[in-house]
Structure 1
Amino acid sequence: MAGARRCLLGSWLSVGVLLGPLLSGVLTLEPVTTAIAIATASVLTGYLSYPRFYCGRLVECCEENAYNSTAFKEDLENKLIGQHLARDVIFRAVTGFMNTENSKKPLALSLHGWTGTGKNFISKIIAENIHEKGMSSKYVHLFVSTMHFPHNNLVNLYKDQIQSWIRGNVTSCPRSIFIFDEMDKLHQGLIDTIKPFLDYYEQIDGVSYRKAIFLFLSNAGGDVINRVVLGSGKRREDLELQDLESALSVELFNNKDSGFWHSSLIDKNLIDFYVPFLPLEYKHVKECVMAELRHRELMPDEELASRVANEMTYFPKDTRMFSDKGCKTVTTKLNLHL
């Protein structure tokens, strides 16, 4: 409701601008015309000030309770290919967080795996199910390490900028989403600047950060995940979070090529879940091709999907079990055939 109230103030101001000329001439009209004008103004005022109309049609508002767990689950099941672990963990984590009236801290998820396994895609699904405009929403903020924080000698400046950006945007919308991509390329120590926002504080300088969501995306840990998958002796579909999460957190904390190297976020247990994205098999690559065909509104073609999947490279070389690029290049390879 807080977001709706913020919208209403803007709607009344907009209505005043719109109806000012109309009402200014009311006194010069005949009684019947005056009554019609006033009635029209009243209806129009009520219509435009209704939160759903104003927020949905005129501007984007911060709506804190728009989450639908059923729709989110369907999106994960229908769109995310080959990631049973990530799908289940993220659904339970996000749903539990969104349904908790007074959460103790923001939700912090760290997503790990080789390129093309679905980390960015699932971030997009999360954003779309919390804010109507998804990644285009002004309440969803994406930071790419190599683009936004390229220079090592400017780390202190970046720290100030990140803190100011988070503080300002959470003040505007408590349900803000912050995505840090390419964590494996982030300068050491930089991510620790957001520790106060992830901690168990009720407020910091009068602002509560407990409804915000932080997502960290990284290729770091991908090798650990692959080793576990190949050496566990379990079927890929039988792997559980406990088979991977502990090894992931240790690897990230001790890996100098990770933005989480000796990070206080790990040391103080402020990351809620380390979510592994498993390497994708040949059958998953075929599913990605079929999904892309549906996205382009083309007829499903098993033979075409097989041809594209066969052109991908796989590891280990002797068994060709997993795609080393996931589904990353499926779109470009499909273009060659189409």
Structure 2
Amino acid sequence: MKLLQAAVIFVLVPTLAQAFDPLTVSVVAGGAVMAWHLLSSDSWLKCRFQECCNRNSTLNFTALKAQLDNRLFGQHLAKDVVLKAVLGFSNNPSPKKPLMLSLHGWAGTGKNFLSQILAEQVHPAGLRSKFVHLFLATLHFPHHDQVKLYKEQLQNWIRGNVSACPSSVFIFDEMDKMHPGVIDAIKPFLDYYEEVDGVSYRKAIFIFLSNAGGDLINKAALDFWASGKRREDIQLKDLEPLLSVGVFNNKNSGLWHSSIIDRNLIDYFVPFLPLEQRHVKMCVRAEMAARGYAVDEKIVQEVADEMTYFPKEERIFSDKGCKTVQAKLDIHEDVVMGDTKARG
């Protein structure tokens, strides 16, 4: 397309110079240059009016860290791993493979939240961006007898979108509900190939979200608590080997006996720890602030108390994380709004 545009301008301007006066030629040439900027896929002018692909994979590390610190609670390990992984990947001008993260933990611990924050740092429109692609296993791959079709469709979709934008982001949610074999379709795009059929996938980011492995993570967290250790002392080496083996051998993980694991193509298995009541309170405060309400610690405590925790007697960890905080807060809506109005 660009070659065609250049050829038109190259042929048109000399021809006009013979037929018209210099002023006319200058005006037409200027118009041709303007047309070039409008038609070029990544021109600054075109990108002022519509979203363009961010081909520069360098991310704002400070901005990403601030977003994770302010919006993701109780996940010191996930923050640390993802920040280091993304920093190394974005600062590498020629990565050998795409970045592949697999996020594991029970519902409500922040997996979706982190993936959205990361997507927003690559493409500011986040999940609304045409360069960020979210797949839900139960919606996009529901039927067990159509695995072959899903694999073909998935390969075509990824190939086409990475061709249009090398820094595309692909998020696969509900991996624990994915039919075995489907996700292996993307294995060629994750491997250490310079190009696959003329397309380079090395600047793309792939993220898996899964509840699989959550029981292993929760048990490890409970063991740390029972031994008197702080959750902040849990390190990646304490959990990653358990996750990779556990997920590979779990028939309900979506990665059961997957060649993606077998070929060591997942860069990091990122564990999300179960949240304690103090983290649930952080979520309540953040939700109240997001709604424009004054933070009332009495309401914060009441919402946190209404959540269910495990083990049943000790009530250490929230069994739904922060997933139902919004719904719980809705019950207190009238009180919170009245309190906010009273404070002016």
TM over 0.5, shorter chain: yes
The letter of the residue matching 1:229 is A
Please list the CA deviations of residues 91-129 of structure 1 after superposition, one character each: whole Å capped at 9, or x if unmatched.
110111011000000000000000000000001000100
Q: Any residues of structure 2 matched to 1:277-288 within 5 Å, and which? A: 277-288=272-283
Offset of 1:54 from its aligned partner?
Answer: 2.7
Q: Does 1:269 align with 2:264?
A: yes
- SS in structure 2 at match of 1:249: helix
Offset of 1:257 from its aligned partner?
Answer: 1.1
TM-score w.r.t. length of structure 2: 0.85
The letter of the residue matching 1:159 is K
The letter of the residue matching 1:314 is Y
Offset of 1:287 from its aligned partner?
Answer: 0.4
Structure 2 counterpart of 1:246:
241
Offset of 1:237 from its aligned partner?
Answer: 1.2
Structure 1 counterpart of 2:122:
130
User: Structure 1, unaligned stretches of length 5 or more?
Assistant: 1-5, 17-26
Taking only the aligned residue pairs, the percentage that are identical comes to 60
- SS in structure 2 at match of 1:271: coil
Q: Does 1:307 align with 2:305?
A: no
Offset of 1:244 from its aligned partner?
Answer: 0.4
Instruction: Please point out which of 62, 69, 77 is paired with 2:53.
Output: 62
Displaced runs of 4 or more, over 6 A: 37-50
- SS in structure 1 at match of 2:119: helix
Question: Structure 1 residues 199, 43: CA separation in 2 closer, same or farther (over 3 Å shift)?
Answer: closer
Offset of 1:51 from its aligned partner?
Answer: 3.8
Instruction: Please point out which of 326, 329, 332 is paired with 1:334.
Output: 329
Q: Any residues of structure 2 matched to 1:7-46 within 5 Å, and which? A: none
In structure 2, C-alpha distance between the alignment counterparts of 1:41 and 1:77, rounded to whole Å: 49
Please list the CA deviations of residues 68-111 of structure 1 after superposition, one character each: whole Å capped at 9, or x if unmatched.
11111111111111100000100110111011000000000000
Q: Does 1:153 align with 2:142?
A: no
- SS in structure 2 at match of 1:109: strand
- SS in structure 1 at match of 2:51: coil
In structure 2, C-alpha distance between the alignment counterparts of 1:40 and 1:261, rounded to whole Å: 60
Question: Structure 1 residues 290, 53: CA separation in 2 closer, same or farther (over 3 Å shift)?
Answer: farther
Structure 2 counterpart of 1:21:
none
In structure 2, C-alpha distance between the alignment counterparts of 1:304 and 1:144, rounded to whole Å: 34
Offset of 1:297 from its aligned partner?
Answer: 1.6
The letter of the residue matching 2:49 is L
The letter of the residue matching 1:262 is H
Q: Does 1:85 align with 2:77?
A: yes
The letter of the residue matching 2:99 is L
Aligned 8 A contact 2:37 2:44 in 1: no
In structure 2, C-alpha distance between the alignment counterparts of 1:139 and 1:62, rounded to whole Å: 7
In structure 2, C-alpha distance between the alignment counterparts of 1:47 and 1:256, rounded to whole Å: 52
In structure 2, C-alpha distance between the alignment counterparts of 1:207 and 1:144, rounded to whole Å: 25
Offset of 1:44 from its aligned partner?
Answer: 7.6
In structure 1, C-alpha distance between the alignment counterparts of 2:275 and 2:126, rounded to whole Å: 26
Aligned 8 A contact 2:174 2:209 in 1: yes
In structure 2, C-alpha distance between the alignment counterparts of 1:194 and 1:83, rounded to whole Å: 29
In structure 1, C-alpha distance between the alignment counterparts of 2:251 and 2:274, rounded to whole Å: 23
Aligned 8 A contact 2:37 2:43 in 1: no
Q: Any residues of structure 2 matched to 1:229-244 within 5 Å, and which? A: 229-232=221-224, 233=227, 234-244=229-239
Structure 2 counterpart of 1:259:
254
The letter of the residue matching 2:272 is F
Paired positions, count: 315
Greater Cα shift, 226-235 or 314-323: 226-235
Q: Does 1:227 align with 2:232?
A: no
RMSD (Å), alpha carbons: 2.7
TM-score w.r.t. length of structure 1: 0.86
Offset of 1:156 from its aligned partner?
Answer: 0.3
In structure 1, C-alpha distance between the alignment counterparts of 2:202 and 2:145, rounded to whole Å: 32
Greater Cα shift, 294-303 or 192-201: 294-303
- SS in structure 2 at match of 1:244: helix
- SS in structure 1 at match of 2:172: strand
In structure 2, C-alpha distance between the alignment counterparts of 1:101 and 1:317, rounded to whole Å: 50
Offset of 1:53 from its aligned partner?
Answer: 4.4
In structure 2, C-alpha distance between the alignment counterparts of 1:209 and 1:115, rounded to whole Å: 30
User: Structure 2, unaligned stretches of length 5 or more?
Assistant: 10-19, 334-344
Please list the CA deviations of residues 173-221 of structure 1 after superposition, one character each: whole Å capped at 9, or x if unmatched.
0000111100000001111111100000011111111111000000000
